């Protein structure tokens, strides 16, 4: 496998945005639930998958996962199986969804990729946290609904806006 | 609204102790081993031994205990809440009921489950904090690169991946400045970020996100041109100004880690698990 300079730089910068959203708490949207906040830190990962393909999505996911592992926002993220592993799939899923639906309509493909990428994050993280015994199933289902739904809506809207905006300034079109 | 003031990414406490002087590779491997051990611990006895070992590392690294634990403070409410969840919601059919109140029933298996998981999180946090407190980001990436190097043979571009990490860490601060400017510019235009209900607050992230991403991608395009103009070609044939060396202290640390891991494995198999 060979990584082009473009792929290295774009994954690095998207990873930086993800970390930045975490350290400034800008990536957390206060939702009144016990688990704290809904997150939009996974949006750079979704964008990486859509704009540059599965490899960039994967690497950005690793950076996002490693960061949430090293600076855990919730206790169960201190387990790499919960914080890193599920994040590997976000970008890949977003890429697959975008790639398979972009022929129909690009905007629709972005919305679907954002929504399904977000669902991947919610379901896999909470599923892993439940499987490892950090959360009882009832609690994770309620967190999944209370956090997953707003996260999904925000991710879908932001993805379509950001992809449109970024594609306008990029030197290469896909 | 000062967003970027409190960025403390991987605080590093410089020092001259033997822990500080260890090769970063030794520290990364040791930390990984400790994390793997932690994922399997299921008894109080094993946690006791683990505590002694962790306390010894903190002592020998000359880190004030207050410093090693201060990062836990923001996590504390969630940690307590999680413990309460486990106490009331986790149970097995043969569990002994400790007390019930209203519709909640606390069982002894719930109590043990809560304790085990809270302890695991506490130790995971302490162990990873110790790594970043005693190792600078530069030597961490050097160590990581050197450890991932053998994977080149199976086609993993280790040097490029580490380069990605370095770009990410460097750009956090650059983009933080950018973000600060955007937020101030939007505030000057009358966006009140701290007012409104959940939906109104959420809508206010759009005028921040779009310029942030667009500027980041502009910078990315510039960096791509700059790197290609200097013919950056990843890891092939690249040498280092400072090369890593394993010394006697690393040998000693390795020996201690192997003995400790053996002891832990012995405890894990001989003491019956609580959960």
Domains of chain A plus CATH, in order, are 5-168 (1.10.1760.20)
Which pLDDT band holds residue A49 (cuts at 50, 70, 90)? very high
**Span B105-125, average pLDDT:** 83
Alpha carbon distance B36, B18 (integer Å): 24
Chain B residue closest to A11 (CA)? B164
State how far residue B154 is from chain A, nearest Cα, in angstroms.
Answer: 9
pLDDT above 50 (res B1): no
CB contacts of A48 in chain B (<8 Å) are none
Residue among B122, B153, B209, B231 with most chain A CBs within 10 A, to mutate: B209
**Which contacts (CB < 8 Å, 24+ apart) does range B40-45 have?**
B40/B268, B41/B116, B41/B120, B41/B264, B41/B268, B42/B116, B42/B268, B42/B273, B42/B274, B42/B275, B43/B267, B43/B268, B43/B271, B43/B272, B43/B273, B43/B274, B44/B115, B44/B274, B45/B267, B45/B271
Closest CB to B90 among A136, A154, A165: A136
Asked if B157 contacts B54 with a C-beta cutoff of 8 angstroms, the reply is no
Residue among A1, A12, A28, A138 with most chain B CBs within 10 A, to mutate: A12
Please write the tens of the pLDDT for every residue from B165-212. 888 888 888 888 888 899 889 889 888 877 777 777 777 888 888 999
Check residue B130 and give its pLDDT: 85
CB contacts of A6 in chain B (<8 Å) are 224
**Span B130-152, average pLDDT:** 84
Q: What is the largest CA-CA distance in chain B?
A: 71
pLDDT above 60 (res A174): no
pLDDT above 60 (res B10): no
Alpha carbon distance B162, B173 (integer Å): 18
Please write the tens of the pLDDT for every residue from A72-123. 666 677 777 888 899 999 999 999 999 999 899 888 999 999 999 999 999 9
Residue among B72, B148, B207, B213 with most chain A CBs within 10 A, to mutate: B213
CB contacts of B8 in chain A (<8 Å) are 23
Alpha carbon distance B186, B36 (integer Å): 46
Alpha helices in chain B (DSSP H): 18-21, 24-40, 44-60, 65-69, 76-89, 108-134, 137-148, 158-188, 198-203, 206-229, 248-270
pLDDT above 70 (res A26): yes
Check residue B63 and give its pLDDT: 83
Chain B residue closest to A58 (CA)? B161
pLDDT above 60 (res B4): no
Contact B202 A47 (CB under 8 A): no
Residue among A8, A43, A79 with most chain B CBs within 10 A, to mutate: A8
* Interaxial angle between packed helices B24-40 and B248-270, expressed in degrees from 0 to 180 and rounded to the nearest 10: 0
Q: How confident is the prediction for chain B on average, in pLDDT?
A: 82
Alpha carbon distance B51, B267 (integer Å): 14
Please write the tens of the pLDDT for every residue from A28-44. 776 665 555 678 889 99
Asked if B221 contacts A170 with a C-beta cutoff of 8 angstroms, the reply is yes
CB contacts of A45 in chain B (<8 Å) are none
**Span A156-164, average pLDDT:** 91
The answer, yes or no, to whether ipTM is higher than 0.90 is no
Contact B118 A75 (CB under 8 A): yes
Closest CB to A75 among B71, B121, B275: B121
Check residue A167 and give its pLDDT: 85
Check residue B214 and give its pLDDT: 92
Q: Please give the C-alpha separations between residue A77 and each of A39, A66, B1, B121, B188, in angstroms, as whole numbers.
A: 13, 10, 28, 8, 37
**Which contacts (CB < 8 Å, 24+ apart) does range A134-139 have?**
A134/A75, A134/A76, A134/A79, A134/A82, A134/B82, A134/B117, A135/A76, A135/B82, A135/B85, A136/B85, A136/B86, A136/B89, A136/B90, A138/B89, A139/B85, A139/B89
State how far residue B256 is from chain A, nearest Cα, in angstroms.
Answer: 25
CB contacts of B157 in chain A (<8 Å) are 1-3
Check residue A1 and give its pLDDT: 62
Contact B201 A75 (CB under 8 A): no
Chain A residue closest to B123 (CA)? A78
Check residue A156 and give its pLDDT: 92
pLDDT above 90 (res A124): yes
Phi and psi at residue B93, to the nearest 5°:
-55, -35
Q: How confident is the prediction for chain A on average, in pLDDT?
A: 85
Alpha carbon distance B87, B108 (integer Å): 8
CB contacts of A8 in chain B (<8 Å) are 160, 163-164, 167, 234
pLDDT above 90 (res A59): yes
| Percent of chain A residues topping a pLDDT of 70 | 89
């Amino acid at each position: 496998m060979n990584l082009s300079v473009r792929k290295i730089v774009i994954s690095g910068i998207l990873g930086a945005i993800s970390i930045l959203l975490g350290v400034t708490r800008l990536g957390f949207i206060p939702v009144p639930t016990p688990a704290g906040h809904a997150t939009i830190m996974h949006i750079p990962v979704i964008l990486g998958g859509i704009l540059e393909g599965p490899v960039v999505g994967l690497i950005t996911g690793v950076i996002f996962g490693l960061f949430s592992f090293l600076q855990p926002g919730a206790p169960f993220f201190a387990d790499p199986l919960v914080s890193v592993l599920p994040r590997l799939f976000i970008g890949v899923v977003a890429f697959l969804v975008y790639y398979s639906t972009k022929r129909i309509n690009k905007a629709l493909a972005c919305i679907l990729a954002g929504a399904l990428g977000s669902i991947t994050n919610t379901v896999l993280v909470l599923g892993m946290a439940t499987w490892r015994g950090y959360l009882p199933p009832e609690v994770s289902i309620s967190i999944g609904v209370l956090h997953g739904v707003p996260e999904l809506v925000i991710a879908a809207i932001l993805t379509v806006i950001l992809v449109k905006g970024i594609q306008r300034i990029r030197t290469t079109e896909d | 609204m000062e967003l970027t003031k409190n960025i403390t990414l991987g605080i590093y406490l410089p020092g001259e102790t033997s822990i500080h002087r260890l090769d970063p590779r030794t520290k990364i491997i040791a930390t990984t081993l400790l994390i793997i051990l932690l994922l399997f611990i299921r008894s109080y006895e094993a946690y006791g031994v683990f505590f002694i070992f962790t306390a010894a590392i903190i002592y020998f690294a000359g880190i004030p205990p207050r410093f090693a634990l201060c990062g836990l403070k923001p996590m504390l409410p969630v940690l307590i809440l999680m413990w309460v969840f486990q106490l009331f919601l986790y149970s097995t059919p043969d569990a002994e009921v400790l007390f019930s109140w209203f519709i909640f029933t606390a069982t002894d298996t719930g109590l043990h489950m809560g304790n085990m998981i809270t302890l695991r999180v506490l130790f995971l946090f302490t162990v990873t904090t110790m790594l970043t407190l005693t190792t600078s980001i530069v030597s961490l990436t050097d160590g990581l690169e050197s450890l991932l190097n053998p994977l080149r043979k199976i086609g993993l571009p280790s040097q490029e991946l580490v380069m990605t990490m370095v770009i990410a860490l460097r750009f956090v601060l650059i983009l933080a400045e950018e973000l600060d400017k955007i937020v101030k510019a939007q505030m000057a235009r009358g966006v009140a970020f701290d007012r409104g209900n959940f939906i109104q607050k959420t809508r206010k992230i759009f005028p921040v996100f779009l310029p942030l991403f667009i500027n980041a991608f502009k910078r990315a395009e510039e960096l791509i041109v700059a790197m290609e103009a200097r013919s950056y070609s990843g890891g092939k044939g690249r040498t280092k100004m400072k090369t890593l060396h394993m010394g006697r202290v690393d040998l000693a640390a390795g020996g201690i880690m192997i003995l400790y891991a053996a002891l832990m494995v012995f405890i894990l198999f001989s003491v019956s698990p609580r959960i």
